[in-house]
Amino acid sequence: MQYYFSKKLTNTTFEQALEKVAEVLKSKGFGILTEIDVQATMKKKLDEDLRPYKILGACNPSFAFKALQAENKIGTMLPCNVIVQVLEDGVVEVAAVDPMASMQAVENPGLESIAGEVQDQLKSAIEEL
């Protein structure tokens, strides 16, 4: 099973892609809780150069609440990560975790429907970009 959904965006900059991702996620009920600039972190911590790469921690509060009610340790897998990166050819790629893949490790049938709903929304957001 593939553990993510992705889409390559043409005719856009990295910054424009970040804005569009935030906008589309918001339209699906997700907010961005965290933003990790992996490029800057690698430069600061390791003095290594990396292409533009950000990890966005996306959360839909109603889905998160349902998941926390069904499984009190599920916070270890929240929020849903979405990456925006520039590939070697200069194309911007956006990828989001497939919550159904990550939930396979959790043996709780109550999470399956919630993960399915989140999967539908994230997949739809990626397709909409």
For the stretch 85-113, pLDDT in tens is 999 899 999 999 999 998 888 889 889 89
Q: In what order do the strands lie in the sheet with 80-86?
A: 4-9, 92-97, 80-86, 53-59, 31-37
Q: Say if CB 20 and CB 56 are below 8 A apart.
A: no
Q: Say if CB 115 and CB 100 are below 8 A apart.
A: yes
* Number of domain units in the chain: 1
pLDDT of residue 102: 84
Between CA 95 and CA 106, with CA 101 as vertex, the angle to 5 degrees is 135
pLDDT of residue 105: 83
pLDDT of residue 23: 98
The model's confidence at residue 50, banded by pLDDT at 50, 70 and 90, is very high
For residue 122, which amino acid is it? L
pLDDT at position 1 over 80: no
Domain residue limits at 30: 4-128
Global pTM reads 0.93
Q: Could you give the percent of the chain with pLDDT greater than 90?
A: 88
CATH number, residue 42: 3.30.310.70
Between CA 28 and CA 126, with CA 78 as vertex, the angle to 5 degrees is 35
pLDDT at position 114 over 80: yes
